[in-house]
Amino acid sequence: MDPHPDVSTLTDDDLRVMIRELEKEEDQISFQRRVLHGRIDILRAELVARLREQVSAGEAKLADVERLSEILTTRASPKVDDE
């Protein structure tokens, strides 16, 4: 399928087929995105758990865990303090 066909030359049925194909592709991409987000969440949770263990063992500063938790719970880029 041409990625940029001249839609004025296509029949109504052709347009419907293209729409169905693109919707199917969109569903697949959306599913993959959800899977990736799930994997990211699992890895973030593991990292936070490890840092908390380090804090309880006295190997890390609590502020580091709190800052990491803040960073991981926001979708935007973390703020950088100006020096």
pLDDT in tens, 18-66: 999 999 999 999 999 999 999 999 998 898 888 888 877 877 665 666 6
The sign of the CA dihedral 48, 53, 59, 60 is positive
Give the model's pLDDT for residue 81: 56
Helix (H) or strand (E) holding 39: helix 12-56
Q: Supply the pTM of this predicted model.
A: 0.57
How do the domains of the chain map onto residue ranges? 13-73
Give the model's pLDDT for residue 51: 82
